[in-house]
Structure 1
Amino acid sequence: MRLSNLADYAVVTMSAAARHCGGGRVSAAELATETGLPVPTVQRLVSRLTAAGLLRSTRGAGGGLQLARPAAAISLADIVEAMEGPIALTTCVEGDDCSIDHECRVKPHWPLVNNVLRDALAGISLTQLALEGEPA
């Protein structure tokens, strides 16, 4: 399994935004500069992260972006799901048609696997991701 580039960039962007907690708002251009990502990419990420309720955007003088809730209350799973949708390793769990569905003995086990994966990602907070240097 591999995250899309946009999901990876969303984690990087949210980590940069988290480092501004308590310091006011930050612009998409500032986040682009800090992360090394192109401004249009960050703007697209910000739009999706705002729609998912992870960022809050304020227009006008003194406006900008800020986390919609504390960094400790935002998980890696939240960010990945905002970009990729529900965490699922196989499509059969989501109800998509499968040519071997009637013969598959593994299908009943995929929800457990998906839950373990989601729980692992949910156990990593944005606070941890925003730390400089080594992981906590």
Structure 2
Amino acid sequence: MRRSQKVEHAFRAMLELALAEGPEVTAVAAIAENTGVPKKFLELILAELRKAGLVQSKRGPTGGYRLARPADAIPLAEVWEAVEGPLGAVVPVSGALRLSRSEESLHELWRELELELRAAMQKVTLAELRRRSQQPRTFEDYVI
């Protein structure tokens, strides 16, 4: 499944803040450097996350961002919806637009899949994502 760059960058930024979780803020420049997200784009994303109540900001030379709630209280679905809008939202179809039976079936299938994705993302928190990021990677040995 494809994700927008914006939501991917939002997940990276939130993971970075979860890794640094605590009372101190993390500078935007540090988040940008550690995640590889362009600073200007990151600032826009962080502003949306702040507006959604997911992060708090501190202004000034020692300013930056921190999580607004504990990492275990922030599901990934909230991060997605803060920057992309609601998952599984019903897209209204105007009365003038008639869908064929197959188009209706596909429309309903996509809606169901988005609702399933939202339910799954609601179960996974930033704390779980942080835990996964800290596990040692295991690489399989393949012999060809």
> Normalised by the size of structure 2, how large is the TM-score?
0.77
Instruction: Work out the CA distance in 2 between the residues paired with 1:134 and 1:115.
Output: 32
| Aligned residue number for residue 99 of structure 1 | 98
Q: Which shows bigger deviation, 123-132 or 9-18?
A: 123-132
| Aligned residue number for residue 114 of structure 1 | 114
Q: CA deviation at 1:81?
A: 0.7
* Identical aligned residues as a percent: 32
Instruction: Work out the CA distance in 2 between the residues paired with 1:53 and 1:26.
Output: 17
| Aligned residue number for residue 66 of structure 1 | 66
2:23 and 2:66 in contact (8 A); partners too: no
Q: Specify the structure having the higher radius of gyration (Cα).
A: 2
* CA separation of 1:6 and 1:24: change in aligned 2, threshold 3 A: same
| Aligned residue number for residue 24 of structure 2 | 24
Instruction: Work out the CA distance in 2 between the residues paired with 1:50 and 1:96.
Output: 32
| Aligned residue number for residue 77 of structure 2 | 77
Letter in 2 for 1:78: E
* Root mean square deviation of aligned Cα: 2.6
Instruction: Work out the CA distance in 2 between the residues paired with 1:9 and 1:61.
Output: 24
Q: CA deviation at 1:7?
A: 0.3
In the alignment of these two chains, the number of paired residues is: 132
Q: CA deviation at 1:96?
A: 3.7
Q: CA deviation at 1:8?
A: 0.5
Q: CA deviation at 1:42?
A: 1.4
Letter in 2 for 1:35: T
* CA separation of 1:80 and 1:134: change in aligned 2, threshold 3 A: farther
Q: CA deviation at 1:94?
A: 2.3
* CA separation of 1:37 and 1:125: change in aligned 2, threshold 3 A: same
- Per-residue Cα deviation, 1:69-92 (whole angstroms, up to 9, x for no partner): 11111111111111110113xx7x
Q: Which runs of 5+ in 1 are unaligned?
A: none
Q: CA deviation at 1:107?
A: 5.6
Q: Which runs of 5+ in 2 are unaligned?
A: 138-144
